[in-house]
Amino acid sequence: MLGGLGGAAVVAGSAGAQGHQLPDADDSNEGPDIPITGADLERASAVALDFTGGGRVTDSEVEDEESYYEVEVTLDDGSEIDVQLDEEFLVVGTD
């Protein structure tokens, strides 16, 4: 009887591990974009707009493939800049 429980635990453990696999390096397994919301959106937007010197926020994403937050800013001339922010709302890059 004890052996049967041990086998069940191994099977359950294997199934659980499969549900927590890391995504592949390519973007084919990437899920839908999750927008930044609430106070985080306000803070991320303020940092991004300060960094770009103006414009308007036209999109945002949490846990972007390049950083924790991504804020898309459209400048007055129509060009777009993706501002990459870490979890502390510090700019870590742009696209």
Q: Is residue 65 part of a domain?
A: yes
Which domain, by its residues, includes 52?
34-95
- Terminal C-alpha separation, the chain: 60
Inter-residue contact 74 to 54 (CB < 8 Å): no
Q: Is residue 75 part of a domain?
A: yes
| Predicted model pTM | 0.68
Q: What is the mean pLDDT of residues 24-47?
A: 82
Looking at residue 52, its pLDDT comes to 98
**Band of residue 86 on the pLDDT scale cut at 50, 70, 90:** very high
Q: Is residue 21 part of a domain?
A: no
Q: Give the side-chain half-sphere CA count within 13 A for 12.
A: 6
Q: Is residue 62 packed enough to be buried (19+ CB in 10 Å), middle (13-18) or exposed (0-12)?
A: middle
pLDDT at 36 over 70: yes
Please work out, in degrees rounded to the nearest 5, the angle formed at the alpha carbon of residue 39 by the alpha carbons of 87 and 45: 70
Q: What is the mean pLDDT of residues 1-26?
A: 42
Q: Is residue 38 part of a domain?
A: yes
For 41-76, the pLDDT digits (tens) are 999 999 999 999 999 999 999 998 889 999 999 999
